Each structure stands twice: as structure tokens, then as C-alpha cells.
Structure 1
Amino acid sequence: MRRLPLTKHGPKRRRPQTQSAPRFYARDPPLSRTTPVTLVHANFEKTQICGKPGTAVMADHGRRSPASSGRVSPETYGGQYDPFVSPLDRFEMAHLPRRSPNEQGSQDRPRARSAGSISNESLSQDTPFADPRPAGASSYAPIPDENPNPVQGRRSFVGVDSLMSMNSLGPYKTQDPVAQALVDRRAGEIATWKIHWQTPAIIIVLWVGGVMGVLGHHFFYLSLDGHPAENQLVKIRYGTALGYFVKSCLVGSVILSYRQRIWHTFRQKAMTLSAIDGLFSVTEDPTQFINWEMLRNSKLATLMALCSWLIPIASVLSPAALTSEPRTTFTNDTCRQVANLNFTRESFYNFRKEGDYPGSSLVYYNTTDKAATTDGWFDYYDQPSKNVKKLTVTSVYLGKPATYVNASINACQEGYNCTYPLSFQGPGYKCDEIANSTHPTLEDQNVPFNISALAPIGDQIYMASVDLNDYRVPQTDTGTDGVAKPGYDPATLGAFDSEPVLWIGYAINTSQPYPAGSPYRSQWKNIHEPKIFKCIAHHTNYTFEMHYNDTNQIVNRTAREFIAPLIDTTVSLNPANASEYLATPVTNYVLPSPDVEKYKLTAAYHALGQQLRNFLRGSISYTPPYYVTKSDISETRLLIPSTSYPVPNLMDELQSMLEDMLITLLSEPHLVIADKTDVPCRKSRTLNTFVYHKEGLWIGYALAVAVAFGFLLVGGWSIFQNGVASDTQFSRIMVTTRNPTIDRLSVGACLGGDPFPKELTRTKLRFGVLREEEVREGPLGRVEHCCFGTEGETSEIVKYGTYAGLQKWRTRVKAKDEYDEEAEWFEKERLLPLAEEER
């Protein structure tokens, strides 16, 4: 052990040698035996111990071999760097601590001024005890930017006038015994180069969680697509939660990767404190993006931070990928019990036995025997029933088939629309054009009028002969009960010898004016084309496409097949009586007996034809400037109201009008011919349904996932380059800012309040190896300290180098035992003369 020579209070005495228990300390050797120390105590004057008063000189330990450490910082330098370039290193020693159970130490509360202490005014500014503040100043004098008197060839680590005290040289003791035990236990710790699995695993797990969230979001919306939009609020909440989960995972992965990147940046580049603040807070404060130095020195890290703000946009877009829209869905099904027509039932209808075929017949009959008891009795046709008149007239006036109120519900089921085919056999007119302006010949056609009667030659724009050889009504006299009176001819009573042929002639106004020299120009102005066609009643097979949309009925004929004439006879003038017509052959007459079924079916068809013919007979002529109408065709859609001319395609429209009458019969379920049938149908339903727009979800998510994956690779590479996985938590900031220079720079700003001193924000720092005194430290060789520091006092961190902490704290524990022994010896030496005087 070294001795401390005493210059006062008696002769110098040598304290007894004590042997401390062997201990291993991190690096620094104990204080040199020849180190002069100056002490100030409350009861003593300035005391020189092994040196000149007021000065302390560190012993030269000599330069050690580079082989003493396996890895060292790559930079070499001639001397220790001092950012303040002090000409001297002086240790100002505070009072020697003497602790008792009743006092907490000078660090905890102010110490009373010693009676023999020197006033601050009496000390020169170049002494170690001088107050650096000017007289009357209330704050510390600012540290100068440069030393006006640098000493060439030497760098001081401590600074201009060192503020270290005797306490700082002695073993620091905290008042917290638990903390002190931890300090003692960690005194010999070495920083470990190890990439802990936790941070990389969290980065990967968050990215994978984000991808799984994207897939879950996709499949969730896919399961809702096309389904009724029920519980919309709940579904939207689920979607929003998934979007938030994806955003949280991907942003979390990016931010953790970003933190690894900025630590790599801190090692590579020195940046001002303002830029470092920006990198630490830009993921939380977007205003930091205006920091130009941060953008310039850390482009990739800034891009990562920017993407951490932009990725949440994907979580905003993704819930919008599911919308609620009116959508029509189609299903192939069977429509059951749809309305149909079965005219065969009319064949078996007997008004005497309505229970067999309930409902209303299309025909009213007369009879020869109401009781049906006499021989040879039969029923014969009288007129169309009131029901058929009502239905057909309704159809004509509507200009389309009439619809039963609940037709769509009955056919399609409530809430659905449907389309289905409907087939039945009924009456129809087979029409053929027999003459026009190009082929006006009517030879051997038995046409009741000539084409010359039509415009432009004649004045008729429409004329029809639809009653030739029609069924005569009444056939014979009847009583009030409809029974034929005696005197009728049973062979001809009620016989259908022919079905009137429809002879229709009309003129088409082409809207093209006649030439100037035409004789028709003065009356007609425009060219007129006359046409004549005839229509013969047939048994016809129909196929319609029935479409119900809500309550609207749309009917399209898809097929029509004419089977045979209703009555296959030919009508001509009677040679014996020119005013009468004769139908031949007689064998094709349809009689009420004995073929009752055929007769009643023919009567039903005839009744419907009669209803159609009621609107066709008559004529329309034009005598300038008037149109004269003598036909009910003006009440139908077969005539153009604005011109009083028939429609150009009159032949087709005439057939269509009869078909409208037939479809209208479907609206009356109480007819004898009303039937029900099952048909294949295509149902549709328009509902508010969920619609999944896949591109709306995947465009945002795909970009977010790809960007997050790219930054995951950046974070992984940064961890590999750094050699450790780190974070921006307070604990990491605490252990990486242990630097005396930073401690002194922070004077006056320890509260951390705003505004922060601007001169500090412009100070450039980087994370590197702090340049300290080169000393040999045990078997580990050179052990250095990594921290934030100024650019000149730090060098680059070498991966897998040996780093621990600040040198002064690594040596404190080693110095503790020697300091305790010397303090004890010093106290004994001080008290020994007093004890001798008392004796």
C-alpha cells in the first residue's frame, strides 16, 4: 500500500500495512502511490500531500501493447481527446466525507461554511477552488467554445477547470442499499455482443400477424359477398377491427425495424441533437419531417418513418371494400302452381253440373231441354260470357294483358321475381298478306272489297270485313229461360258452318311527298301504300315467356304453331241467292251434337274471336280536311292516335292483340279454363346485399404488406450490422448517454423543459466508442466505453469489441478499498497529536 505524507499536525508517520482481500476489478488500476492529492477539510488549511499545493498530476502508466486486447477501435490517436482542450487537469477536492447515523452526507444537504475556510473573493480565478461565476452572478458561466491557450501535443479529457471533488475520487455511495448492492454487483460487467431473439421474433410475428389479418379480412368479406345485408353495423365493426389489427401489426413491424435502423445510422453519422430528436420522435410526431438534416442524413430511416404514417391508409380503404348495394340474385328453381290455361276444360263444361268443373265459362249457352231429359236434347252457343267480355275489353283498353294483383307472389313467391315459360293451346289467327301496291291482283281470293277503295286511289285508310257468314244470333226463338221454342231445325240449329275470315285493308302513310305532278298530291300530300291481308282462325299452340318484376308482368311470345283451322270450310256466294254465303263442305260443320266436346271448344274459340272482331269491323275514311271513323279500332292500340292511321305492322299487331286477350284470362282464377301447373323458372330477388370489391382491399393491403416486408429485411440487416437488437426505450437512452461531456453540456437544462437551448440542439453527436485514457486492464486488455458523444471524442464501434462503461466508474470499485484504508489512516494521524497533548 502507498503512504500519504502529511505536511501538518506532527511528524510524518507510516500507517500500518493492511492486506485487502483479493478482488477482480473491471479495468482501472488503483491510484498511483506517487499521485499528489490536495485536500480541503473543514478544520484544516490547505494541505499538500505528496506534491505541490493545489495541483494533482496523474501518473503515467505508459503505453501498452496492442496485443492486450483482441479488438480495439479502428481509429488511433496520439493522445487523449479533450473537447475543451484544457492546459491542465486539476482535481478540486471537496470536504472529506464523514458520515454518522445522524447525517446523510454532504451530497444530500448543504454543508455549513467552515470557520477557517477561504472566501471565494480571496481565491484567484486560476486556482482549483475558484468560483467560475463572476461576483454577483446567479448562474454558471458558460463554457467557452474554444480554449484560448491550447497546449500543443497534449489533450486533456477532463476540461478547463475540473469540477471533480474528493467525493468523486472516493467510492460513491448511494443512500439506497438495494441500488448500491446492484452497483457493486455490476462493477465488473462487460457489454455482451448477442442478438437476442425477442426483437427479431416480434418483428416477424407482427408482420406474419398482419398478413394473416389481411387473409382473414379477405375471407371474411368473401363469405359476406352476395348475401343479404343483415346486421350491417356488426359486420362493418368486424371489418374495421380487422383493418385496425392489420394496420397495428404492420406498423408495429415497421417501427421496430425502424428503431434498429436509426441505431445503425447513429453509429455511422454524426448529427445534431435536433436531428437525433427527430429520428427518435418522428414516428409519433409528423412535424419532425421538416427537419432537413434528418432527411439528408437518414434517408432510408426517414422513408421507413413516413411509411409508418402511410400504412394506416390501407386500414381506412379496406373496410370500404365491403359495401351494401341493391343487387339482383338469380337462382334456378321450380315455380309451383303458376296460372295456366286449359281450354279442354271448356269442352266438358256443363252448366247443369258446375261442381265437376267449377268456375265461369267463356260462353253462354241456350238449350233445347233445360232438364236434359228429352231425347236428342243439346246445348248450343248463344254469346260470349260477361266474364270474357270484361277481360277482353280490359285488355284492349289497357293496350296490354291485364294482371292479377298477386300474380307475381303466386307465381314467384313473395320477395322474388321470376321468369318461366308457359305453354298452352288456344285460338289464334293465321294471317297472310294477299295484296299491296306492288301486287294489287286479287284474282280468285274472294276478297269482299277491292284495293282501289284504299288510299290513294280511294278515300279509305282502313276497312275491314270480319263478319262474312258469321254465326247467326239468335239461331231461333227462345223463351225467357233460354230454351228453344218448337219449330227449329235440329240439323242446323247451333251449327258452326264456318268461322268468319278477317279481311283487313289499310293504307300506310310513308311520310314521303308525292311528286309535283302526281294526281294524289293535293289530297294525300304523302305517298300512301295500300295493303290487304286475311286472317283465318286456327287451333294454335303457344309458348310465352312470363316475366314478373315486382307487380309488373312482361309477356313475350317465344313460339307459335298453327295446328289446323278452327272450322275447315270455304265460304262463297250462294248461287241461288247472291245475298247469302255458302260454306262447304257440309261434313266439316261443327254441330252441337253428337260431338259435344268439339262443339264447346269451338264455341269458346269463337267467343274470343268474336270479341276481337267487335273492335275490327268498320272503316276509316279521309275527306279533306276530316277523318271519318266508323270502327272501334280507334279504341285500340292498333291505331295511331296522333294520325288516325293504323299502325304500319297492323297484321302482326292484330295477332298480338288476340294473344293479349288470352294472357288476360290468366288474371281470372275463377274461369273454367283456369289451371295450375309446375314449371321450371329462374327466380331473382333484388335486395340490399353485401358486395365485396376485392381490388379495394387488396390494392392497399398488398402495398402495405410489401413495404412492411421490405423494411423487415432492412431491420434484420441493421440488427446484423449492429450486432445487437436495441430499442428507443428510456433504459437504452440511459445507458447510451453516459458521457462526462454530455453531463457538462446539459448544465442548466436538467429539467428537460421547453424551450430547449438552441446551442445544444446544434451540437453534433454520434454513437461510438468514447476516447478515454489508454490503460492496461487485467486479462481482457483494452476495455472501452460506447456512448453518444461529440464527433471528435468518439470513434467507430467495432463489432465484437470489448466494451463496458465509463472508465472512472470501472475504477471506482477498485479504488474503494484503498480509499477507505487511507481515509482511516489519515483520520488517525490527525487525532494522534491531540491525544498526546491531552496526556
Structure 2
Amino acid sequence: MASMNSPGPNSPPSSLGIHITGPNYASLTQRTSEDDDDFSDSEREARSQSRRTMGPSHGIPMISMISPTSPGNIYSKQSPPEDKSYFSPTLSIGARSPFARRPDTLYSFGSNTVRPRSDSMTERLIAHRAMQSTQWKVHWRTPMLMTCSFVTGVMLAIAQHLLYKRLHHMEIADEEKKVLYVLYGRALAYLCKVAFGTCVVLVYRQRSWRTFRSRALTVLSIDHLFDAVENPSLFGNWEVLSNAPIAVMIALVFWLIPVATIIFSPGALTFGTFLDREIVNISVPNLDFSTESWKNYRVPNVTADGMSQRAMIFYNTTDPAKEPHREGWFDYYDQPSAELSRVAILLAYNSMSHPNTMQGARQAMCGGPYNCTYEQTFVGPGYQCEEVANGVNDDKKLAELGAPFNTSLLVPEGRYIYHANIDMGDYSRPQKNVTFQKGRAGVPDGPIPDDLGVFKSEPVLWIGYSVNSTESLVKDSPYAVNWTHRYDPHVMRCVHHETRYTVLWNYTEPSFSATATKREFLSPVVDTNFSRFDDGLTNEDDPQPVANFVSPRTNVQLYKKTAAYHAMGQMLRTFLRGEVGMEAPLPGPSYAQPESDITKTRLVDKSSEPKADLQTELEDFYTDMILSLLSLPTMLVVQNDTTQVDRTRYQPSFVYVPVRLWQCYVPVIFITFLILLFGFWTIWEDGTTFSTGFSRILVTTRNTTLDDISRGACLGNDPFPVELMHTKLKFGVLGEGTEMDYLGMDSVQSVGHCAFGVASEVVPIKKGVPYAGLQRRRIRQEGGNEE
């Protein structure tokens, strides 16, 4: 078929006559009076008014043409409307090659051509669809997708929680693995967004179609509703906001879901430091004084790393060089070992309030770079002190116990603020009543006395001290002549005991502490007492009972342990022995006169005066001196012991805060669940499900009014005609009269058709009505027959 506007090279010669009939319209066919009988009086009046007001250009005038070469076919040519301003200018195109005309045809506005359908499959499809009608049922796919997407979103949120929980406090040194785990979490967050977003979108589609059915909206607003999940312009359209508030809220939820899932939920997993705490059993050094009971200085004790362990004491022996190990020989106590002296001196002079420790003690005790605490129990020597005098002239109990002095020696009556008598009944060195071989100190020369090396008694510490109360003396005080403040004298008595210690170690960087939480005094080291002369003085040479003496000949193991305890006490007494005098402030000047090594220790304050709580300080000082043995791992008494250690450390790792994750997901899950329920209710109320794909637009825009008003905009390109964007449309059933006008009274069957249209031509869709849609146009054959 050739174009009628400009003949092409293959067009028939102009001499061939073309028979032109009167103009017909594709959209409005001529009606007969019989046809009008099918309408009611009101409908006929409306059609009559429409014919009077409608100009000839309101249809599409078509000129019927018959070609001499094919008289059996009828061709049509579009006739331009008289009112040139009604439509946009038509597009003039060039000539097209002629092709055969089939009875069933389509046409395009302004193309001046009629194109045939030549696809047999399409013809069969048309024939099949001719008897179909709408099926009112809820298809399973959309509800299933809505449910599955919601459940999937919840499962993905739980999976993200489990992943983060597994990573919580996990120490990962590999940086690539750290990044990989973070990406896993973000991937789960993104998939959660997709799942929840899919559920919301499916519900939104159902609700948007409900809006199209109930409200007449401009094409611009319909565009915004269709594009709401892709283009946020919807939220700036007041018409949509006011006419479709529910759809807008659902769309808003869709846009906010990524904020909660993708942006904030990964923030629940951070990377930082955390306090790692664990309770483990670790081998830590402890004290075991019983090891001294089996020590033979002739046989070295070598550790696994080749170090020789050191004893706490040096021994003398009765074993002569000429006759080694002759019958009756024995070893006996001489003095503290050099290692013990070094430990004691370092503790006494460091002025710290804790025992000495070895280098790297925290890591060694805690089993690594940790802070730790643990408790240990061991048995060792300890001084049990009690106060026997408090205040001036409080001497009664002192006399009963046979104290070597009373409070008269102490300030304010005496000149001493510190006085110690700590050597009464001490082990003598060298031993009495024996001569020794030259060149071999300690080896007796001649008969060996029965009491050689025997511990008959353990010295009792008698310590007196005065404490400045900082309270000024009254003028009538007898001591106001020399003293400005009241001094309170105290006397304490300390007895050496075998003691069970419970010690709490606390290694917390950068310092540590060791606190004796419990001291259980078991028995005196040497359980003897001094007798007295008739005048009441103490007889230091006759301790009783003799049965409690500790001899190196009878019980060697007990003797060596007692010797170790005695050596430990001897080192303490080294720093307590002596006095500290005090010059009175009147006439002055007042100053301390130290004659004791106690002023070199932490037992005195800055003015060299004894501390107010000297009794407690002395017990703690001696405990710390004992615990300082652990600073020298080569000491024989230092033995490893498995102990339960509570250790902590700050280490870099993932830190997961579950509440942050669920603060993001709980609102999303809850709101999405409500939207899901609302979607089910909408589907049940509508009786069917909807979608927004091209197929749905294809079948819901079949309306001649839309064909007419969209003329000149069929390409769909920008800029789109403004008058179309502001045209209001509504989705519904085309009104009966309008539909018959669109289809032609004599060319269709009277069936309902659902489509977008202007508000005046549509009526509401009724649930359950079997709408069939447009029927096939009947092609008028030249012989006047219809298909």
C-alpha cells in the first residue's frame, strides 16, 4: 500500500481512477435509528447533545478509497481536521512501500497507512482471548512473595546477629580477615534491606492500585506513584500526599529501611579494646619452707635449667676433715645466707609498701601480658605482736611478763621515742663453751658440748615507742617544761610463731600489691619461756622446758626448718635493734637521734619517728620480707604451685553491642510486619492482586480517550506535554455509553472494560464482576458482510 500524500516510485499511474467515498470515522461510526433504540432516554439525550457539540475534527476522518488494481480491498486515508489548533501538528512522513491489505488491520494516527496483521500466531491468540473474562481470585504468588521476603529478612537479621556474636571479643591479627568479616556483616545488612524492601514494595503496589481506583489523579501524580520506589519526588507532590497518605507512608518506610539496615545496623560491630577476663590454673611460685628440712649443703640442688638453688642459711659442722662423716657428726646453724641477707636488705631499704618482685613478675605470674589476682596459702615464720602498755606509767602488765624495760624510758618521761630489746635468749654466735679448730671455723676442737647448735629459745621482741598525738599540752602539765605536745608511750611484745599465711596477690599494671588477708599463728618457733630470779629479773640462761629445745642431733628435719625460721627472724631483728632518741623542743631545738637501722626502713615517718600503728606495720613488714623471697627464683624455698588465677587484659578485637543492632531491626521488623498484615487485608478486600509491570499498563490503558489525548506524544520522550501531565485519570470501568462510543454500536458486543480514563467516563470496579475487556473490531468487507 502506498501513501496517499506523496506517491512513491512504484505507485499506480495517476490515470487510474480512484473512487472516493464520503468520510467515515474510526472512533464514531454512523448510527441508525434502530441502534439508538438500544439506549435509555437519558443516554440518547446525552448522545444527541454530544453530536451537536462535537465538531467534525473530534473524530479521525477517514476517506475510503478503492484501487482499480485490487477492487476487492478497501483502503483508508486520514483526512486532516478542519480545526488545526485542536491537535498538535501531525507528522508528515515519506512514502511507504505498498503491501497487501488483510481484512483485520491496525492504523496509526497521521501515518496515512494501514498495516496488516500477518502473524498467524497473533491471530490465534486473538481468537483464543476473544471469549476470556477477568478471573477474580487471589493468586498465590504475591502473598507468598510478601511472606517469604518478610521471613527472609527476619532470618537474615538473626544471621547478622549470630555472626556479630561470634566475632564479639574475637582477637584477629590478620587485617584481611577483619575486613572480610566486616564485609560479611554489611552483605547481610544489604540483603536484609532487599528482603524487607521487597515485602514493602509488594504491599505498596496493592495499595497504589487501590488509590487509582478510588481517586482521580493527574498523570504526574500517577507517574510519581508508579515510580515511588525509584524516585523520591513523590514526597514533594501535595496531590499525592493528600490523596494517597497510606501509600505515601508505605513508600516512606521503603526509603527509610536502608537507613536502619545498611547504615546503622553495621555500627553494632566495632573494633576496639575490651577487658578479657578468664580464670585459669597456672603454675606460679610459692613458698615451701619444708624444703630447707632436707637440704644438704654438700649436695647442690640443680634446677632443670641448670641453676643451683640457694639455701636460706649457712651451716657449721662437726665433721672433721681428717675423719669425714665419723659417727655422731652433725651440722648446726651458723647465720643467714648471703642470698637471704640480700633479699632482706633490699626490702628494708626500698621504702615500698609491697614486697620485692623479680623482673617481669607480672607476666610470669599471670601467664602472659595480663593483669591478674590470685590467692596463695603457705606456712612460714611470723611475729605475733600484742600491745602490753599504752600510756604513761602503764607498767603493771610489763612487770607481770618480765619486760626488760617500762614506759619510763620513753618520751615524755624518758628520752627515747623508740627503744627495742630483741636479743634476749638469742642463739649465740659463736656458740658458748666450745673451742674451734683453726682454719675451719665452726668445727669444734675437742669435746662437743651437748647444747652445741641447740635452739633453746627464740628471742621475744620487746619494743617501746612514743607517738606524737599532735595535741598541745596544758600549761599545768608536768611535761610542759620540755614538751609542747602530748606523747603517748606504747610497749608491744612480739613472739615468733610458725604461721599459716593466706596472701592475695594483685598484679595490676603499672603496680602490684600483696596483702596478707589472713595470718593463723600455729605455734611458737621454739616453745620455751625464761625463768626468773628471786628479785624478779629474767634468767636468760635457763629457758624452760628443756624438752622443747630443738637439737641438731635428734630431729634434723625439724631443726633445719627451725633454723630457717630463725634466720628469717634474725634478718628482721637486724633492722629493729637499737634506739632512737629525741631532743625535747624546749629549750630546743628538737630532733631525732637515731641509733637504730629502723630509721632506714618504712617503719618510721619522715621525721624518723615511729609510725603510729607500728604494731600492724611491723607484722606487715615482716610478711613482705618473707614474700620477697619470691623475687629470687633460685631460693630453695621457692617452689612452683598450680594456682587458680583470675586474669584480665585489654586486647584489641571486635566489640559487638547487640542492643544497637536490635534498635535498628526491631522497628523495621515490627513496621514491616504491620505493613504485611495491611497488605493481606488489602488483597482480601480487593479480591485479587496487582503488579506494575508493562503487561499491567498494557491492558489497563486501552481507552479511546487516552488514544485521543495522547496524540503526538506516543514516543514518550521528553519534554512531555504539560497539558497531559495535568490531566486527571482514574482506574475503573468505562461507562456503558462511553464504551459503546469507543467501540462502535454495530461493531462490538456489550461487555464491561476496565481501564484508566477521565473521571467522567469511568465507574467503580465491582468485585466479582467478570469484566471481559474490549472485543475485536468487526471489519466491514466490501460485500457488506461482517466477520
Same fold (TM over 0.5): yes
Query: What TM-score results when the alignment is normalised by the length of structure 1?
Result: 0.76
* Aligned residues of 2:24 and 2:63 also touching (Cα < 8 A): no
**Mapped contact 1:83–1:793 kept (Cα < 8 A):** no
**1 CA distance for matches of 2:52 and 2:557?**
128
Structure 2 equivalent of residue 394 of structure 1: 346
* 251-260 vs 413-422, which moves further: 413-422
Amino acid at match of 1:481: R
Whether 2:330 is the aligned partner of 1:378: answer yes
Moved more, 474-483 or 576-585: 576-585
- State whether structure 2 residue 30 is matched by structure 1 residue 57: yes
Q: Deviation string for 1:671-722 (max 9, x for gaps)?
A: 2323333345555565445444222222322211111111112222222333
Of residues 340-349 and 479-488 in structure 1, the stretch that sits farther from structure 2 once superposed is 479-488
| Alpha carbons 2:218, 2:727 under 8 Å: kept | yes
Q: Which residue of 2 aligns with 1:467?
A: 423
User: What is the deviation of 1:374?
Assistant: 4.1
CA contact (8 A) 2:23 2:62 kept: no
CA 1:56–1:64 in 2, change beyond 3 Å: closer, same or farther?
closer
Q: Which amino acid is 2:773 matched to?
A: G
Q: Retained in 1: the 8 A contact 2:418–2:579?
A: yes
Aligned match of 2:763? 795
Instruction: Mark the CA change 1:783 to 1:170 in structure 2 (over 3 Å): closer, same or farther.
Output: farther
The corresponding residue for 1:403 is: 357
1:449 to 389, 397, 405: 405
Are 2:309 and 1:359 aligned?
yes
Which residue in 2 is equivalent to 1:278?
Answer: 224
Corresponding residue for residue 26 of structure 1: none
Determine helix, strand or coil for the equivalent of 1:491.
coil
8 Å contact kept, 1:573–1:582:
no
User: Is 2:312 the partner of 1:368?
Assistant: no
Task: Provide the C-alpha distance between the structure 2 equivalents of 1:172 and 1:524, rounded to a whole number of angstroms.
Answer: 132
Q: What does residue 480 of structure 1 align with?
A: 439
Q: 1:519 to 1:801 in 2, by over 3 A?
A: farther
Q: Is the 8 A contact 1:405 1:551 kept in 2?
A: no
**Which of 126, 136, 141 is the aligned partner of 1:193?**
136
Q: Within 5 Å, give how 1:17-96 maps onto structure 2.
A: 43=17, 47-48=21-22, 57-60=30-33, 61-62=35-36, 64=38, 79=46, 86=54, 92-94=61-63, 96=65
Aligned partner of 1:615: which letter? F
Is residue 2:405 matched to residue 1:426?
A: no
The one-letter code of the counterpart of 1:627 is: A
Counterpart position of 1:664: 628
Measured against aligned partners, the alpha-carbon deviations of 1:451-474 in whole angstroms (never above 9, x if no partner) come to 244344444333322223322222
Number of residue pairs the alignment of both structures matches: 721
1:298 positional shift? 0.9
1:86–1:646 CA distance, 2 compared to 1 (3 A): farther
Deviates more, 1:697-706 or 1:505-514: 505-514
Distance 1:56 1:479 in 2: 152
Inter-CA distance 513–771: structure 2 relative to 1 (3 Å threshold): farther
Q: Which residue of 2 aligns with 1:537?
A: 496
Letter in 2 for 1:396: A
Separation in structure 1 between the aligned mates of residue 632 and residue 296 of structure 2, nearest angstrom: 19
User: What is the CA-CA distance between 1:170 and the residue it aligns to?
Assistant: 11
Q: Secondary structure at the match of 1:461?
A: strand
SS in 2 for 1:717: helix
CA–CA separation in structure 1 for the residues paired with 2:539 and 2:265:
85
Partner residue of 1:335 out of 274, 278, 282: 282
Contact 1:93–1:166 (CA under 8 A) maintained in structure 2: no
Q: 2:693 and 2:268 mapped to 1: Cα distance?
A: 38
Task: Indicate if the aligned counterparts of 2:265 and 2:664 stay in contact, CA closer than 8 A.
Answer: yes
| Pick aligned residue for 1:702 from 645, 654, 666 | 666
Shift in alpha-carbon separation, 1:470–1:90, aligned structure 2, 3 A: closer
User: 3-state SS of the aligned residue for 1:645?
Assistant: coil
Distance 2:686 2:425 in 1: 113
* CA–CA separation in structure 1 for the residues paired with 2:556 and 2:576: 30
Aligned equivalent of 2:116, options 173, 178, 183: 173
Q: In structure 2, which of residues 675, 692, 707 is the aligned counterpart of residue 743 of structure 1?
A: 707
Relative contact order higher in (CA < 8 Å, ≥ 6 apart): 1
Sort the Cα spacing of 1:488 and 1:318 in 2 relative to 1 into closer, same or farther, 3 A: farther
Structure 1 residue 527 displacement after superposition: 4.3
Name the amino acid aligned to 2:452.
L
Question: 1:302, CA displacement in angstroms?
Answer: 0.8
Q: Is the 8 A contact 2:315 2:333 kept in 1?
A: yes
Compute the displacement of 1:343 (Å).
Answer: 1.8
Tell me if 1:312 matches 2:276.
no
Instruction: Tell which deviates more after alignment, 689-698 or 788-797.
Output: 689-698
CA distance in 1 between counterparts of 2:538 and 2:436 reads 23
Q: Specify the code of the residue in structure 2 equivalent to 1:387.
A: E
Q: Which amino acid aligns with 1:802?
A: P
Secondary structure of the corresponding residue to residue 201 of structure 1: helix
1:741 deviates by: 2.4
CA distance in 2, matches of 1:43, 1:462: 149
Q: Is the 8 A contact 1:42 1:95 kept in 2?
A: no
Q: Alpha-carbon deviation of 1:580?
A: 8.0
| Structure 1 gap ranges (5+) | 1-40, 67-74, 112-127, 142-163, 825-839
Change in Cα spacing, 1:85 to 1:209, as seen in structure 2 (3 Å) is: farther
**Residues 613 and 741 of structure 1: CA distance in aligned 2, closer, same or farther (over 3 Å):** same
Gaps of 5+ in 2: 1-14, 92-106, 584-588
What code does the residue aligned with 1:382 have? D
Rounded Cα–Cα distance in structure 1 between residues aligned with 2:168 and 2:721 = 59
Distance in 2 between residues matched to 1:697 and 1:792, nearest whole Å: 52
Residue pair 1:97, 1:167 contacting (<8 A) in 2 also: no
Distance in 1 (CA, whole Å) between partners of 2:109 and 2:366 is 102
Residues 766/356 of structure 1: CA separation in 2 closer, same or farther (3 Å cut): closer
For 1:771, give the aligned amino acid. Answer: G
Structure 1 residue 481 displacement after superposition: 3.0
1:606 deviates by: 1.2
1:362 deviates by: 0.8
Q: 1:56 to 1:195 in 2, by over 3 A?
A: closer
Tell me whether 713-722 or 246-255 shows the greater mean CA deviation: 713-722
- RMSD over aligned Cα, in angstroms? 4.3
- C-alpha change, 1:517 and 1:203, in structure 2 (3 Å) is farther
* Residue pair 2:275, 2:651 contacting (<8 A) in 1 also: yes
Larger mean Cα displacement after TM superposition, 556-565 or 685-694 = 685-694
Which of 598, 602, 605 is the equivalent residue of 1:633?
598
Helix, strand or coil: the match of 2:63? coil
Task: Measure how far apart 1:567 and its partner are.
Answer: 1.9
Deviations 1:592-649 (A, max 9, x none): 33333333222211111111111222333433343333322233222233x4333332
Structure 1: distance between partners of 2:695 and 2:710: 19
8 Å contact kept, 2:320–2:443: no
SS of 1:251's partner is helix
Structure 2 vs 1, CA of residues 577 and 454 (structure 1 numbering), >3 Å: closer, same or farther?
A: closer
CA distance in 1, matches of 2:59, 2:156: 64
Shift of 1:516: 6.7
Matches within 5 A, 1:624-773: 624-641=589-606, 643-682=607-646, 686-773=650-737
Counterpart of 2:544 in structure 1 is 585
Whole-Å Cα distance in 2 between the matches of residues 78 and 194 of structure 1?
A: 39
Question: Structure 1 83/211 Cα, relative in aligned 2: closer, same or farther at 3 Å?
Answer: farther
Structure 1: distance between partners of 2:539 and 2:132: 135
Structure 2 CA distance for partners of 1:314 and 1:577, relative to 1, 3 Å: closer
CA distance in 1, matches of 2:266, 2:669: 16
Q: Secondary structure at the match of 1:443?
A: helix
Code of the aligned partner of 2:84: R
The residue identity in structure 1 corresponding to 2:593 is V
> For the residues of structure 1 that align with 2:109 and 2:277, how far apart are their CA atoms?
93
Change (3 A) 1:93 1:87: closer
